[in-house]
Structure 1
Amino acid sequence: MKLRILIMAACCLLALTGQADEGMWMLGNLNKQTQEAMKELGLQMPASKLYSPKRPSLKDAIVSFGGFCSGVVVSEDGLVFTNHHCGFSSVQQHSSVEHDYLKDGFVAHNHQEELPNPELYVRFLLRTENVTKRVLGAVEPGMSESERTSAVDSTMLAIGEEVSHKDSTLIGIVDAYYAGNEFWLSVYRDYNDVRLVFAPPSSVGKFGWDTDNWVWPRHTGDFCVFRIYADKHNRPADYSPDNVPYHPEYVAPISLAGYKEGSFCMTMGYPGRTERYLSSFGIEEMMNNTNQAQIDVRGVKQAIWKREMDARDSIRIKYASKYDESSNYWKNSIGTNLAIRKLHILEKKRDMEQELRRWIQQTPEEREKLLHLFSDLELNYKSRREANRAQAYFVESFLNGPELIQLALTILNFDFEGEEKTVVANLKGIVEKYANLDLEIDKEVFTSLLKEYRSKVDSIYLPEIYQTIATKYNGNDRTFVDSLYAHSELITPRGLKRFLEQDTTYQIYDDPAMSLGIDMLTKLFETNMQMQQASSEIVRNERLLNAAIRRMYASRNFYPDANSTMRLSFGTVCGYTPFDGAEYDYYTTQKGILEKVKAHVGDVDFEVQPEILSLLSSGDFGKYADEKGEMKVCFISNNDITGGNSGSPMFNAKGELLGLAFDGNWEAMSSDILYEPKMQRTIGVDVRYILFMIEKYGKAGNLIQELKVNN
């Protein structure tokens, strides 16, 4: 009987235990089982060529791009390929109505024309080290969860600081794995002088925009090119005209040979966050609270932004980057909730948990420790349900909503005692936010979100401003908003300037926008305190659940959830069947672009410049054509990725670059919670399309000459 239960549980847990094409694996902890699986699929490189802390290896060509994307070094002079949407804010910052790089693209034909981006950095991983024993050594028997957290956090911080104390050019960060059951140190080196080199027009880099986002078939040339600069000794340096191109430890070669169905494919990058081990109670909370709040609130905000962006080019340029960032996760949340329901993710999780319950009951040492694990999880998630929902809507409506409140909170939390260069850079960032703010649009957003929040939460979670609106402004939200903006000095940089100059006639903390921001933080704190006990117990029990799953299947090959550290995923190039009667091929070509342009006449999401259409219609693709003479634009594999993997290189069996990952597919949007092998696909832009656009549209043959291209 016990054997039959374990076999049934193994089937239910299959998605949690690395299959050949599932898993975001730690490069510094690739065990023999994982290495063998890669070889069986076709990998022709030894593991030491993928990762080595002592010798140049493929991982030395991979960067964390700005801390929010990934990228790959492709030349001896520090060229980096990443996604267009990863470089979008940099392109936007350099754009104006007169020089509309968002619309027309950007090309630097020499180093002097490359554009600096002070807010950007790239991060190289040097090595990783398991420090679990040291971190957990700080945990003493009988500690409460808050005491444990404090001990663990302080030890993690101390270990990281030891790295930079030994070498000021290095950064040490300790991250938790397996819900806090393991801890690893990553040692990095950052380069802060990163310059824009090439950006295709948005009609290429964002082709399809929201309509095609997260959807296959895809025809988006989602790429951008930057260059890393260093001092004359190849060391990290802040921006200076005297800096020179960085010379990397390893340069990723590029393949023009392409791929076929079943070809080996691997990605390396920095996936942000997955919740593959999260309980069914946690998934349900995520659906109904976090995701639904993003869907509802961002939908309201973005509709206002989009209307004004479509009406005026000046607003389009100002709001393009923040709209892009907001809408990306808005649509992600929509797709995730739909996929959870359609793929019956909750039911699968509950089946797995039921089998785990039985195992605990039948294993005396587990029963003694975990008898109440699931009842405690259920009770504590239920205890914080309404407060958590209110908090999710509160954060979206106010802390991520009106930009005036965001500016007030940024100023409130500003570290004026930091390093001079950091203070200056952060002040420039605030001024940049003002430059991209339209007050009338922001007032409309604020008014609409006040109404949206009121309609979605219980009245006990309404902050005091609602009482003020009811009594002082006769319940008129817009009148309140107009008055707030009329009486605040923070609607322009003038208020910040008066504060910095210590103008005695201006008390910044009495400014109505600042006062409101403080009230908002106070309300958020109150909500957190209401959930504190339940949240603490949830963290503890999710950690125990994670550990129990791994003990139950001690012989299985488990990978940790993504946590923004470097990971490798591997699989094959392959199509899929999204539903009965439909079969999707593993690639798209230039023909699809031309077809979509014709099918969406008048739709700005599919408008493409005539010269680009002419290039794609000519059929003259030269060495970038496939065996049929066509131009492959995008392709898909069953590699396992998530947010943060954008810009991750997709390599063939020899470690040659095939393209850049930039998206997942609509049918498997629940992939952060459960991997679905039949459905989940990574969408990448073909490197041959990238090179074609650089050479033929951008006429930047100088960049092509820098690359190591293999036929």
Structure 2
Amino acid sequence: MTKLLAGILCSLMFAPCAYADEGMWVLSMLSKRSQKQMKALGLKLNAKQLYNPDGPSFKDAIVSFGGFCSGVVVSPDGLVFTNHHCGYGSIQEHSAPDHDYLKNGFVARTYKEELPNPDLHVSFLIRTEDVTQRVKALLTDDMGLRRRQHVVDSVSRAIEKEAVAGNKLLRAEVASYYQGNEFYLSIYKDYKDVRLVYAPPSSLGKLGGDTDNWMWPRHTCDFSVFRIYAGPDNEPAEYSPENKPYQASAYAPVSLKGYEEGDFCMTMGYPGSTERYLSSFGVDERMKTSNAAMIQIRGIKQDIWTSYMEQDDATRIKYASKFASSSNYWKNSIGMNQSIADLGVIGQKQALENRLRTWIAQHPDMQKKYGTMLPALEQAYKSRFNASHARSFFYESLLGSAELPRFVINFLQLRVNDMTPEMKEQTLKTYEGKYADMDLNIDKEVFATMLKTYAEVVPAEKYHPSLYQTVAQEFGGDFKAYVDSLYAHTAFTTLDGLKRFLANDTTFNLRQDPMTQVAVSLIQAYNGIADESGKDDEVVALNESKLCDALREMEIDRDFYPDANSTLRMSYGVVKSYDPLDAVHYNYYTTTQGILEKAKKGAQNSDYYIQPEVLKLFNGNYGRYGNKQGDMNTCFLSTNDITGGNSGSGMFNGKGELIGLAFDGNWEAMSGDIVFSPKLQRCIGVDIRYVLYVIENYGHADRLINELKLK
């Protein structure tokens, strides 16, 4: 079968399959077919070189960065490259108006100047094992969703405990794959002493800002550099000035050769979540509930934040990381809904489901197994829509926007009597940073606005928390007056409330604190909404799992990859341009010429502003980092599969040499979490030569360049 025909069939099926450019593959599950495809595309490494649980292999150079991004080890002394937006929170924490590392960048000249980050860790995968039979042996078809999840959790905890056998240096985690049809155990080693080494100025690391986010062409130098530290035995250790740079068992060499269109490209990282097997009913619901809530609510919240951030540098620094995180998925939801509509995703999903119906009808044994699956899904999604809509807007507006109510909700879940003094101290340290990054005036305005907005979007009073009665009866419906009074009378506007709570202060009546009452009101209302849709949720979960199983049975000879679930995955493809519209062609790389063009717009659009001293870097003298035309490549495109969590993933050529860092997907294929579109979907990466040029010429950090194995 030709590659073109295979691609057409995959498109018609609209299900995850072994199309050469599609898939987030588990290294321990690589089929012979996938290995053959990778070799044909240009991979020179074999499967054991990629993944070997019994010795060093390529996987040992890849880290989960903080549990929310990816990174690649690039030196024998534990140097890690990841994205600027992945390190953004750490850079922000070390910044202040008099040393603004967000604005001006940061470089550590010596090991001693490298900055520790107490809340940051990196994880290495040790091995992955199939434990499906052990988990499913205790599951029965008549189990309800909650009972089933309880059994899965109990068995998983037992497997995890057994796997590490008291080894405190290891962490075990059982995760579900293929919508709960299979289960795999992963063993990790977490290093908790991770220090900031280098950050470019944000005018490069975030060049284009929200304007360019998810767009092509890009010129963003989206990287930051950290270093892993270890104890004297090279094992994980809590931060100590005595710790030494981690001695890596594997690290990636760095290529200065670059790439051409059609060259093999491989990414490795920890993608967060995809829903490629989701039914047409599920896609429709996501558009109208969670995506719609993110678009509307986050847009309002970000406008409030922006109005304060533009007035004061200290506030800008405080809210920079929170704004970037919120904005990222706000724009993602906008693009996803648009892409689902433009690409006709729901219609294509329906075509696949009709094909599945025909296959089921032709096989009596399949009728017994799957005959009620699709009708049950359709009815359950329809039945729960109002509750799902309310739940999505409730979460975004009342649980996910104002910070102080969310803090107190988290406090109420602490089991204070079971906490050791060390645990209490760590909790105080964590929230000391959170309080420092919160402005009460901003938080009050956000909460008042969100209370009003939620009532407008979800008018049904049965979905309103009881605090709305207080607002109506005692404040005449004035949300601002209510919130002003609330914040004026709670003990939680400072860290003092948490301290008294953790100390079991008998003079502190937790139940009478007005913010505690708000937190309880929110929790009860949210749980009530969840209870309303509980039975439908069970039907949806059970039959979405069956749908995934049915698709795999219908095409039993095809390789199917599991949805992303924050475990280590590999994607393979090629460097490639694309045509987003009729008569429009996007080249597969950008150059510094685009930086200069965008900088001219800096006066009108702050996303393109570059400080004059930074702009001087792009003078045409690029030396060994330049391209054949005398310019320098900045970013490039590949057909690799990408989603959130992949940020910071290394992009490698066929020899396993680092050619870039993945940092984004493209606007035309924002439905990529639900369906892979081979014609349009692209992974955007920053060229590693651009990264090295900025390290060497802006930070003059030759010591870092000298650590690398340059090819």
Q: TM-score, normalised by structure 1?
A: 0.97
Distance 2:236 2:8 in 1: 54
Q: How does 1:243-642 map to 2 (within 5 A)?
A: 243-416=243-416, 417-418=418-419, 420-457=421-458, 458-616=460-618, 618-642=619-643
Distance 2:434 2:10 in 1: 51
Deviation at 1:452, TM superposition (A): 1.1
User: 2:178–2:548: 8 Å Cα contact kept in structure 1?
Assistant: yes
Deviation at 1:399, TM superposition (A): 1.0
Deviation at 1:419, TM superposition (A): 5.5
User: 2:144–2:538: 8 Å Cα contact kept in structure 1?
Assistant: no
Deviation at 1:414, TM superposition (A): 2.8
User: 1:294–1:396: 8 Å Cα contact kept in structure 2?
Assistant: yes
Distance 1:123 1:283 in 2: 33
Q: Deviations over 1:484-527 (max 9, x none)?
A: 11111111112222333443332123211111011101111111
| Structure 1 match to 2:659 | 658
Q: Deviations over 1:232-267 (max 9, x none)?
A: 110100000110000111010000000000010010
User: 1:639–1:682: 8 Å Cα contact kept in structure 2?
Assistant: yes
Distance 2:115 2:420 in 1: 25
Deviation at 1:421, TM superposition (A): 4.5
Q: From the superposition, tell whether residues 308 and 543 of structure 1 become closer, same or farther in structure 2 (CA, over 3 Å).
A: same
Distance 2:14 2:485 in 1: 58
Q: Which runs of 4+ in 1 moved over 4 A?
A: 7-11, 418-422
3-state SS of the aligned residue for 1:593? helix
3-state SS of the aligned residue for 1:257? coil
Deviation at 1:420, TM superposition (A): 5.0
3-state SS of the aligned residue for 1:237? coil
For 1:91, give the aligned amino acid: I
Q: Deviations over 1:314-351 (max 9, x none)?
A: 11001001011111101100100010000100000000
Deviates more, 1:464-473 or 1:20-29: 464-473
Distance 1:424 1:385 in 2: 43
Distance 1:167 1:46 in 2: 31
Distance 2:77 2:310 in 1: 39
Deviates more, 1:15-24 or 1:562-571: 15-24
Q: From the superposition, tell whether residues 118 and 134 of structure 1 become closer, same or farther in structure 2 (CA, over 3 Å).
A: same
Deviates more, 1:553-562 or 1:455-464: 455-464
Distance 2:608 2:415 in 1: 44
For 1:229, give the aligned amino acid: Y
Deviation at 1:147, TM superposition (A): 2.6
User: 2:14–2:348: 8 Å Cα contact kept in structure 1?
Assistant: no
Distance 1:367 1:136 in 2: 23
| Structure 2 match to 1:668 | 669
User: 2:428–2:499: 8 Å Cα contact kept in structure 1?
Assistant: no
Deviation at 1:143, TM superposition (A): 3.1
User: 1:499–1:507: 8 Å Cα contact kept in structure 2?
Assistant: no
Distance 2:133 2:318 in 1: 49
| Structure 1 match to 2:3 | none
User: 2:174–2:185: 8 Å Cα contact kept in structure 1?
Assistant: yes
Deviation at 1:383, TM superposition (A): 1.2
For 1:287, give the aligned amino acid: M
Q: From the superposition, tell whether residues 141 and 608 of structure 1 become closer, same or farther in structure 2 (CA, over 3 Å).
A: closer
The percentage of counterpart residues that share the same residue type is: 52
3-state SS of the aligned residue for 1:709? coil
User: 2:107–2:699: 8 Å Cα contact kept in structure 1?
Assistant: yes
Distance 1:681 1:421 in 2: 46
Distance 1:500 1:139 in 2: 40
Q: From the superposition, tell whether residues 609 and 8 of structure 1 become closer, same or farther in structure 2 (CA, over 3 Å).
A: closer
Deviation at 1:142, TM superposition (A): 3.7
Q: From the superposition, tell whether residues 501 and 540 of structure 1 become closer, same or farther in structure 2 (CA, over 3 Å).
A: closer
User: 2:491–2:513: 8 Å Cα contact kept in structure 1?
Assistant: yes
Deviation at 1:415, TM superposition (A): 4.5
Deviation at 1:169, TM superposition (A): 1.0
Q: From the superposition, tell whether residues 418 and 51 of structure 1 become closer, same or farther in structure 2 (CA, over 3 Å).
A: farther
For 1:133, give the aligned amino acid: Q
Deviation at 1:661, TM superposition (A): 0.3
Q: How does 1:134-283 map to 2 (within 5 A)?
A: 134-140=134-140, 142-283=142-283
| Structure 1 match to 2:4 | none
Q: How does 1:106-125 map to 2 (within 5 A)?
A: 106-125=106-125
3-state SS of the aligned residue for 2:577? coil
Deviation at 1:121, TM superposition (A): 0.4
Deviation at 1:395, TM superposition (A): 0.6
3-state SS of the aligned residue for 1:227? strand
Gaps of 5+ in 2: 1-6
Gaps of 5+ in 1: 1-6
User: 1:15–1:676: 8 Å Cα contact kept in structure 2?
Assistant: no
Distance 1:421 1:162 in 2: 26
User: 1:163–1:170: 8 Å Cα contact kept in structure 2?
Assistant: no
- RMSD (Å), alpha carbons: 1.5
Q: From the superposition, tell whether residues 356 and 680 of structure 1 become closer, same or farther in structure 2 (CA, over 3 Å).
A: same
For 2:463, give the aligned amino acid: Y
Q: Deviations over 1:360-391 (max 9, x none)?
A: 11111001222211110011111111001101
Q: From the superposition, tell whether residues 180 and 528 of structure 1 become closer, same or farther in structure 2 (CA, over 3 Å).
A: same
3-state SS of the aligned residue for 2:578? coil
Does 1:96 find its partner at 2:96? yes
| Structure 2 match to 1:75 | 75
Deviates more, 1:59-68 or 1:156-165: 156-165
Deviation at 1:418, TM superposition (A): 4.3
For 2:259, give the aligned amino acid: Y
Q: From the superposition, tell whether residues 501 and 157 of structure 1 become closer, same or farther in structure 2 (CA, over 3 Å).
A: closer
3-state SS of the aligned residue for 1:226? strand
Distance 1:498 1:640 in 2: 49
| Structure 2 match to 1:4 | none
Deviation at 1:448, TM superposition (A): 1.1
| Structure 2 match to 1:689 | 690
User: 2:15–2:277: 8 Å Cα contact kept in structure 1?
Assistant: no
Q: Deviations over 1:107-140 (max 9, x none)?
A: 0010100100010000000111111111111113
| Structure 2 match to 1:3 | none
For 2:524, give the aligned amino acid: T
Deviation at 1:293, TM superposition (A): 0.4
For 1:357, give the aligned amino acid: R
3-state SS of the aligned residue for 1:167? coil
User: 2:255–2:659: 8 Å Cα contact kept in structure 1?
Assistant: yes
Deviates more, 1:546-555 or 1:465-474: 465-474
Q: From the superposition, tell whether residues 346 and 269 of structure 1 become closer, same or farther in structure 2 (CA, over 3 Å).
A: same
User: 1:118–1:425: 8 Å Cα contact kept in structure 2?
Assistant: no
Deviates more, 1:457-466 or 1:346-355: 457-466
Q: From the superposition, tell whether residues 421 and 605 of structure 1 become closer, same or farther in structure 2 (CA, over 3 Å).
A: farther
Distance 2:678 2:548 in 1: 22
Aligned length: 704
| Structure 1 match to 2:678 | 677
For 1:339, give the aligned amino acid: S
Distance 1:321 1:599 in 2: 24
Deviation at 1:225, TM superposition (A): 0.3
For 2:452, give the aligned amino acid: K
User: 2:262–2:575: 8 Å Cα contact kept in structure 1?
Assistant: yes
Distance 1:445 1:109 in 2: 41
